[in-house]
Amino acid sequence: MKFGNSFLYQLKPEWKESYIHYIDLKLYLKNKVPFGDEEEEDFKNKIQKDLQMVRDFTENKYNELNNIVISCEKKIEELSQSEDTDYSEINEQLSVATNDILELDKYIRLNSLGFSKILKKHDKLTNYKIKMNYIEELKGFPFNINFNDLIIKLSKLFAITNVDPFKNAKNNNNTGTEHFVRSTSKYWVHKNNITAVKCSILKHLPVNIYNSKTGRFDPGITSIYFDNSDFDLYVGRLKLLKGAEAFRIRWYGAVDSSDTVYMERKINQGAKISESSHKERFPLEEKYVNDYLSGKYNFEEKIKYYRENGLRTEKQLEELERFSTEYQDAVIKKNLKPVLRTFYNRIAFQFPDHARIRISLDTDLCMIREDNFGRPRSKDNWRREDVKTDFPFAYLPEEDITRFPFGILEIKLQTQYGVKAPQWIEDLINSHLVEQIPKFSKFVHGVSVLNKDRVPLLPYWLPQLDVLEMKEKDMRLNENNENLKKKKNSEASNQTHQNHVLNVSATPRKKSIEYCEPQLNHFANEK
Q: Which residues are catalytic?
A: 442
3-state secondary structure of 367: strand
Could you tell me if 372 and 378 are in contact, meaning their C-beta atoms sit under 8 angstroms apart?
yes
Peptide bond into 13 cis (omega under 30): no
Of 198, 194, 50, 65, the closest CA to residue 111 belongs to 50
Question: For residue 451, what is the enclosing H or E element?
Answer: none
Taking residue 315's Cβ as centre, other Cβ atoms within 10 Å add up to 10
CA nearest to 415, candidates 516, 513, 520? 516
Measured in whole angstroms, the distance separating CA 340 from the mean position of its chain's CA atoms is 19
Comparing CA positions, the residue from 424, 356, 406 lying closest to residue 200 is 424
Give the integer Cα–Cα distance in Å for 67 and 61.
10
Asked if 127 and 35 touch (Cβ cutoff 8 Å), the reply is yes
What residues are paired with 186 via a beta bridge?
A: 410
State the DSSP H helix or E strand holding residue 395, giving kind and residue range, or none if neither: none
Would you tell me the crossing angle of helices 88-125 and 194-202 to the nearest 10 degrees?
180
Whole-number Å distance between alpha carbons of 129 and 125:
10
**209: how many CB neighbours lie within 10 A of its CB?**
15
Pair 265, 281: CB distance under 8 Å: yes
Rounded-to-integer distance, Cα 195 and Cα 76, Å: 25
Residue at 523: amino acid letter: F
Nearest to 14 by CA among 494, 496, 500, 502: 494
**Burial degree of 497 (CB within 10 A; 0-12, 13-18, 19+):** buried
